Chain A
Amino acid sequence: MNYFLTEEQQMIVDVARQITDEKIIPQRAELDEKEEFPTEILKTIAKADLFGLYIPEQYGGFGGGSFDMVLALEQFSRGCVGIATSFAASALGAYPILISGSDELKERYMPVIARGEKWAAFGLTEANAGSDASGIQTTAVLDGDEWVLNGTKQWITNAGDAKIYSIIAITDRSKGPRGASMFVVEDTDPGFSYGVKEKKLGIRASSTRELIFKDCRIPKDRMIGRQGTGFFTVMRTLDLSRPGIASLGIGLGQGALDEAVNYAKQRVQFGRPVISFQAVQHILADMAIQLEASRALVYATSRYIDSDPKDMSKYSSMCKVMATDMAMKVTTDAVQILAGYGYMREYPVEKMMRDAKILQIYEGTNQIQRNVIGQALNKEYSRS
């Protein structure tokens, strides 16, 4: 459908599409098989200026918004959600600094992130703090001019490959939700190390490790925003990033639909292409319907976010749920259309189906998203 993109937005799509077709698609199977981080592809993306897409021009970025990111991520994920996730995770690590960081922190970190010279990552999840962020155990204690961090973050995307980490730690447990603060930790900080690389079902080109803080000392000025604003920054970050995850769903759904339709057109059974059978056509039609509806919601939401509304959580959650549930369904259907071939690793759809599952889980499970939407509805309808 024509979504009436501006000339600049069309350029973003064209650049991202070319990277996807020429670099990502030819390499995705091998990177998945070897569980190898896509260093060279990320460098290509950096050279194409896309790491700075959402970063203000004053810090060397393109000055784009949520919608620009959605357009780029949609293309990358059409090729490989693992690679797209590695790219997106750098933005996730940069958002807290952009949202709450001091000008000085922004000046220090945004230009290198915008140029793609260093990748960023976001550290929230812990062994006992997943959906329930209040379970965070990592602490930060001020000692003279330094913060001393202790604790372990779990399942952190880009961990070990990124150089800049935005992490949340408890600075005053007695203050409850206002007792957490965010910090920038650098790869080389003393007392900071990584756990072993996790083995995953899907998005295997992306790297996932623990962040381990053992008396990790960082300068005082690495705190992002004021003390106690950690949860606010995290929530705002996730509001901004969810349409990105949703766009991974639509890109993946598009990739799966492309494979399924092309296959159904050339696969001959009972003397005719299987696409001529209504049973197959209806599956493909449902895939296309759900995909286009999801795309429309994701685009609308990210455009809404770019209008800088006061509260975007409900819509941000809606598009994440819809597009990622769609991706799970559509990739599963694509495997069904390709049937025996689809189940084989020689064809890309089994990987797409494996990759889809994480989208319903990370950056807030789809159940948590429904909580957010439910609570927003409860609040809205209490006002009138």
Chain B
Amino acid sequence: MKIIVCVKQVPDAKDVRLDPKTNTMAREGVQSIMNPYDRHALEAAVQLKEQYGGTVTALTMGPPQAEETLREAVACGADDAVLVSDRAFAGADTWATSYTLAMAVRKLGDFDLIVCGKQAIDGDTAQVGPGLAQRLDIPYVAYARKIHSCTDGKIRLERLMDDGYDLVEMRLPGLLTVVKEVNEPRVPSLKGKMKAKSLKATVLTAADLQADPACLGLRGSTTQVVRVFSPEFKAERCMLTGTAAEQVDQLLAKLDSLQ
């Protein structure tokens, strides 16, 4: 089975600061990590490989330093790694990103399954996984919380819902995005780290993808961030007085008025 895992390098959430003047994320001096949901996606892929055989390819789009995240993926069990990197990709929103990733996946050839984290902790859109599936015209299941089996060209899994879960069967090739409940990501192994040390990721540029320049990066993005700001929080404090019964009446009246 040929599995592709999409991973993204993101700023460490423990380290995130906003520039008070510009209200944008201060990225300088902030540690980068593999998007935490992607660690679960990678673990799911590696477990499938361990159970059913095959290969796991880690795929990322990002600047050259995103190779560090691919290295981590190989240390945790990925067999090879592909870095989609070009200045032309800069500023891409989820529309342009899913286009670029789809071009890269096509370039890589046949595959059985693509696994993504449900969302990245920086953008938090949860759109790239499903967007990629749409672009590739393959079925997808988002929010996978448990994988039951993967045989006969079909994968059976549980999809997390607000009120429980759905048991879903999807034909392959397909794409799934996973939530944290799906597994406990492993720590890189020593042998994996050794292998990762000498990793030379395959680099794909815009030219390699034969992509339409109008669909890439900022130019190819349908959304743009106009302003980033922290919402102002205005709390109003109100003391209720009187007996307990009176306070309850006042509280109910207050709640009613808020409806």
Contact = CB atoms under 8 A, between A and B. Distances in A.
Specify the main secondary structure of chain A where it touches its partner. helix
B190 A18 contact: no
A12 B186 CA distance: 15
Nearest to A62: B190
A48 B187 contact: yes
A15 B190 contact: yes
B108 to A, nearest CB: 28
Interface residue tally of chain B, by bracket? under 10
A53 B188 CA distance: 15
Nearest to A10: B193
B87 interface: no
Given A7-B197, A11-B194, A18 B188 contact: yes
B23 interface: no
B135 interface: no
A12 B187 contact: no
Contacts of B191: 49
Contacts of B193: 11, 14-15
Contacts of A371: none
A50 B190 contact: yes
A14 B192 CA distance: 12
B197 A15 contact: no
Interface string A1-44: 00000011001101100110011000000000000000000001
Interface in A260-319: none
Contacts of B186: 44, 47-48
A272 B145 CA distance: 48
Contact of B187 (A7, A8, A18, A53): A18
A23 to B, nearest CB: 7
Contacts of A8: 194
Interface in A35-72: 44, 47-50, 53, 62
A15 B188 CA distance: 6
Interface string B172-198: 000000000000001111110110010
Q: Which of A19, A48, A50 has the most CB of B within 10 A?
A: A48
Contacts of A50: 190
A49 B189 contact: yes
4 shortest A-B CB distances, which residue pairs?
A49-B190, A11-B193, A48-B189, A49-B189
15 contacts: A7-B197, A11-B194, A11-B197, A12-B190, A14-B188, A14-B193, A15-B190, A15-B193, A19-B187, A23-B187, A44-B187, A47-B186, A48-B186, A48-B187, A50-B190
Interface of A: 7-8, 11-12, 14-15, 18-19, 22-23, 44, 47-50, 53, 62
Given A47-B187, A49-B191, 11 more contacts: A8-B194, A11-B190, A11-B193, A11-B197, A14-B188, A15-B187, A44-B186, A48-B186, A48-B187, A48-B188, A62-B190
